[in-house]
A and B are shown apart, each in its own frame.
Chain A
């Protein structure tokens, strides 16, 4: 499936101009309100992170009364997980997209921001901002289509390795941050000999340093503070990281894999204009319906379509842009893929199971 056949080139260019106008209007209106939103969010997130860890420590006082200990430690773990989710998604992801560079705040710059993840931010910015956002859903170019290890469309050639998908996706969900960190290494190309170890080594070193800092913090230092309760704190931190991983996996997999999403070949995007790039972003991204808090916790990636159209627009503006983009799509009869989390994640999971098998029939569009 490729570009909508009912639109002439001129119509597509017009569509692009209308999107540009929306973008310009919103970008020109950035101001104090947006800055206050981000600064407040950052304060809340840091408070939650610190608070979560303190509650985890506080829960140890209830031991050996496990009936009291468990709910309190669960609360602390949840707070820490929520902090990590906010930090990675609504703050880190979006700051590193340069959404907040316009504030010229020396502390909040895409070039220097480092996030609470084992993936070094500079590598992520390359694999995500450069590769994925430029080549969204172009097979053979966008390495986020199946992350080099999953088959998400019939257009990918089947390999017996994909039979493992029902299992490998579970592992991936649990350890998502580690897969993101290793994603840029292109291990499959390394194994295929298309990339040398010498090329990979400097990246591996960077990852190693980041991993050392992150694991030292969550799995050594904070647990050590608890003395004899080392393992309790370690387990709580591990669970918080896993909760964050699973949540990120669910939201991110709903971005480009649900039923009805389109993929493109390199030929289709050759000589692509900006307007056609817009159309590709639209057809290649999916939104998730939800309330205000849900959008914040998903880093506004529930507005994946708007995020892909305007990756450097402050994420707090996506909710107000979404209805306008949707109305525009209705006018031009371009499909706008949005649905509940249950439906988007359901069809994604179903596709991952189905394409694990050597089915080659194109999915009904």
Chain B
């Protein structure tokens, strides 16, 4: 249903909202079906499916406010754990426009990762999870005839899976080379579906590399190297590369394409902001939160969102990786360091993303 401003629906609810004040019509619709709300977006967990021992696919039916994603995009998922609301970003692994109007996310339980473990172990069909709208520009262009090279590792396969499924469903799979890394054969997420794609589509070439499997290769050869790339994909210079995976892999890929002066062909999807190498002795400082009147000591490595939360504050936040700008706050005075670049900002009145900045000396935030 069209819920955009100016639509018939929004005009109707504009009127019925006056009957519902101080709430909105949507709050009462939620009583009947949480997917009908317009004041927030939720998704119902329709089913869960274990891909591997530690990765699970959740099939979600988003509420009415959802708009169709583009293959490769990610979405913020809210997870209440212990009564507290947490938000994390996951790539959508399903193709856009499925007949059942559902989407899937595939989550790998990270060791020590509270949210990912909860999603993999505790979420059951029938649960409702708050959802954001699809975001991100890690997508294949629509028009250009394309010959992509996918380099993925672990759960980094999820956005690429969405692209593969999208093209396979439309029957126009382009010439694709896919290099995927996983610790062992049994750790490969979507292993069966990938094998079937390879068997059905001659233009899709898949190479699986097992990084922890003992074999004829040395440990160094089991990870991304120039020689390996040359072997798997001799025409890599002519292809657009889409890479998603852990820091180490992305750094190696980035360095390789930069070295070849082909950065323009490089598309990376990161799930942690890549932190800059900070010297061991970066100074922290006292962080003052002007509006709440709190003051705490912080080191120079902990992001300010965490500092604020540890101080008992509850700033709005989203991705926790510098993408969504939900946690933006004004720097009243002092100095912050961008953990991604190491750059220092000391411009008073500047807007600071709390989740990717740390204290660099004493500072004051409008929070």
Contacts and interface: CB of A to CB of B under 8 A. Distances in A.
A binds B: yes
A46 B26 CA distance: 12
A13 interface: no
Interface residues of A, number: 27
A290 interface: no
Contact of B85 (A30, A105, A214, A222): A105
Contact of A46 (B23, B40, B85, B86): B23
B84 A103 contact: yes
Contact of A104 (B18, B23, B28, B85): B85
Given A32-B82, A33-B83, A107-B40, A222 B19 contact: yes
B308 to A, nearest CB: 12
A32 B80 CA distance: 8
Given A46-B23, A217-B18, A222-B19, A103 B31 contact: no
A213 B18 contact: yes
A102 interface: yes
B171 interface: no
Contacts of A104: 84-86, 314
A107 B21 CA distance: 15
Given A35-B80, A103-B83, A221 B19 contact: yes
B316 interface: yes
A114 B27 CA distance: 13
Interface string B241-271: 0000000000000000000000000000000
Residue in B18, B27, B39, B83 with the greatest tally of chain A CB atoms within 10 Å: B83
Contact of A34 (B19, B21, B31, B83): B83
A50 B85 contact: no
B71 to A, nearest CB: 28
A35 B83 contact: yes
Residue in B22, B27, B40, B85 with the greatest tally of chain A CB atoms within 10 Å: B22
Contacts of B39: 107
Nearest to B20: A217
Interface in A1-49: 30-35, 43, 46-47
B22 A30 contact: no
A106 interface: yes
A216 B18 contact: yes
A88 B281 CA distance: 52
A186 interface: no
Given A46-B28, A46-B31, A50-B31, A213 B83 contact: no
A31 B23 contact: no
A116 interface: yes
A119 to B, nearest CB: 11
Q: Interface on chain B toward A: helix, strand, loop, or mixed SS? A: mixed
A43 B31 contact: yes
A122 interface: no
Given A106-B40, A213-B21, A30 B31 contact: no
Interface in B4-59: 18-23, 27-28, 31, 39-40
Interface string B66-95: 000000000000001011111000000000
B40 A30 contact: no
A155 to B, nearest CB: 32
A115 interface: yes
A357 B39 CA distance: 54
Given A46-B27, A106-B40, A31 B22 contact: no
Interface in A196-246: 213-214, 216-217, 221-222
A101 interface: yes
A74 B30 CA distance: 27
B316 A103 contact: no
B28 A50 contact: yes
Contacts of B23: 46
Given A114-B22, A213-B21, A221-B18, A103 B80 contact: yes
Interface string B320-343: 000000000000000000000000
A47 B23 CA distance: 13
Contacts of A222: 19
Given A106-B85, A217-B18, 19 more contacts: A31-B82, A31-B83, A32-B80, A32-B82, A34-B83, A46-B27, A50-B31, A102-B83, A102-B84, A103-B83, A104-B314, A106-B316, A107-B39, A116-B22, A216-B21, A217-B20, A221-B18, A221-B19, A222-B19
24 contacts: A30-B83, A31-B82, A32-B80, A32-B82, A33-B83, A34-B83, A35-B83, A43-B31, A50-B31, A102-B314, A103-B80, A103-B83, A103-B84, A104-B86, A104-B314, A105-B85, A106-B85, A106-B316, A114-B22, A213-B18, A216-B18, A217-B19, A217-B21, A222-B19
Interface of A: 30-35, 43, 46-47, 50, 101-107, 109, 114-116, 213-214, 216-217, 221-222
